[in-house]
Amino acid sequence: MDTFYAHLDANRDRFLDELKRYCAQPSVAAQNLGMTEMAELVKERLEARGFSVRLIPTAGHPVVYGELGEGPRTLLIYDHYDVQPPEPLELWDSPPFTPTIRDGKLFARGAADNKGDQLCRMQAIEAWLATQGPLPLKIKWVIEGEEEIGSPNLEAFAHEHAEMLRADGCLWEFGGKNEHEQFTLTLGVKGIAYFELRLKEMEVDAHSAYAAFLPNAPWRLLWALSSLRAPDGRITLDDYWPHVAPPSAEDLALVDVLPFDAEKIKANFGVREWLFGMDDRTANRALRFAPTLTICGLEAGYTGAGTKTVLPKEARAKLDFRLVPNLTPDLVYDLLRRHLDRRGFDDIEIVRLSAEHAARTSPSAEIVQAALRAARTVYGHEPVLDPTSGGSGPMYSLCDRLSIPAVSAGVGYPGSRAHAPNEHIRLDDYWQCQRFIGHLIREFARQDF
């Protein structure tokens, strides 16, 4: 792979310029900002490497789909060209869409999540083609435009194009090094079901003197919410726990060796102990394997300065359930509806805002084993396997449902500040990950394992 490395090294300036140009294009799906321009730019950059590319329409922003190469194996790659909103702008040290290099790091919205991964992968493929000949496998590349708004149209896309997407393994969008500088391969994501509960009791707000005989929407919503979780923190949604799949012994063994810097995390959030007084090992396991129910927001009545004696006509709450395997968004919706109805809260409307299934790949899958071999070669240490991220993503729709094992690996590190101001990547990680992609292609194309 010496010539492959040489091509990467010789083209660093051009690659960096290309990455800056890529990150300079705003593409905020939530604000419908720059999305068409970004889709065109992705298409153009893929075509520059010889991919045949199509913009495939969805009910929202199009999916950029590219294919290149031939071989006995097919590698699906998943990325997204949208980014999170950059606000609050005043907390950025350089403007979010003016990519800036400081201290060997590239700062820009999307640098880590996930434009850096895309170009790292494209540039590695370019270096392969320039030095190793044609690709030894087929690559199918899905770059969607709605990941940061919950991928509302990816499931329909995957369903409609199931035949086209057929593959032996998938390289997922995110990843990088952990707190101990160990390269990490992630094999799954938690699911999510996000709801808004709406309760409207009256047509207009009232003087609070009328509370003597008029209903109070915020109180009723609070009573409903408090039936969902006990004061000790346990989720008390009816019929919920029989659907929670416990982690396997193999899962637990993988997680117990992952670094978990308890003191640093506590200091970060300004807390003294974990929820329910759990120990560090339990907290580390819970991040991956415990389902959660979070009140993300509550809205009712007057919250401005001073007093306003008002009886609010309505109240709303935003709830997210993070889901482990076997708990599906539809199931949680049904359980929640029945739970509320049984207690007389059938007047509370449940609006489904977003939904994603949990996803998991076995460590023994070929794509995982190929990634392990590639990572050992490039990073010089035994990479870490994380059975699942505590976050969510559309991995189930694109991979599990189509029986494609997936592994996630990328250019980030824990300080990358994805979704936050001053998002960045370390350039050394970026150059190293280009090499990893080359080795991954080589290892996954091999038939002798």
Q: Which residues of this chain interact with Zn ion, rule CB under 5 A?
A: 113
Q: Which of 113, 443 has the CB closer to Zn ion?
A: 113
| Distance in Å, CB of 417 to Zn ion, minimum | 11
Q: How far apart are CA 447 and CA 255, in angstroms?
A: 30
| Distance in Å, CB of 394 to Zn ion, minimum | 12
| Distance in Å, CB of 174 to Zn ion, minimum | 7
| Distance in Å, CB of 309 to Zn ion, minimum | 43
Q: Which of 148, 168 has the CB closer to Zn ion?
A: 148
In 3D space, the residue among 337, 433, 407, 352 whose CA is nearest the CA of residue 167 turns out to be 407
- Sheet of 349-356: strand order equals 292-300, 314-323, 191-200, 349-356
Q: How far apart are CA 445 and CA 180, in angstroms?
A: 30
Mutual angle of helices 116-132 and 2-10, in 10-degree steps: 130
Q: Which of 113, 117 has the CB closer to Zn ion?
A: 113
Q: Which of 383, 410 has the CB closer to Zn ion?
A: 410
Three-state SS letters, 362-386: CCCCHHHHHHHHHHHHHHCCCCEEE
Angle, CA of 369, 371 and 375, to the nearest 5°:
120
Kindly give, in sequence order, each residue whose CB lies less than 8 Å from that of residue 225, ignoring residues fewer than 6 positions away.
197, 295, 317
Q: Which helix (DSSP H) or strand (DSSP E) does residue 195 occupy?
A: strand 191-200
Q: Which of 113, 251 has the CB closer to Zn ion?
A: 113
| Distance in Å, CB of 53 to Zn ion, minimum | 23
Q: Which of 50, 390 has the CB closer to Zn ion?
A: 390
Residue nearest Zn ion, Cβ-based:
113
In 3D space, the residue among 268, 270, 273, 86 whose CA is nearest the CA of residue 179 turns out to be 268
Q: Which of 114, 434 has the CB closer to Zn ion?
A: 114
H helices of 11-99, in order, are 12-24, 35-48
Kindly give, in sequence order, each residue whose CB lies less than 8 Å from that of residue 307, ignoring residues fewer than 6 positions away.
none
CB neighbour class for 342 (10 Å; exposed up to 12, middle 13-18, buried from 19)? exposed
| Distance in Å, CB of 114 to Zn ion, minimum | 7
Q: Which of 118, 216 has the CB closer to Zn ion?
A: 118
| Distance in Å, CB of 133 to Zn ion, minimum | 35
| Distance in Å, CB of 132 to Zn ion, minimum | 32
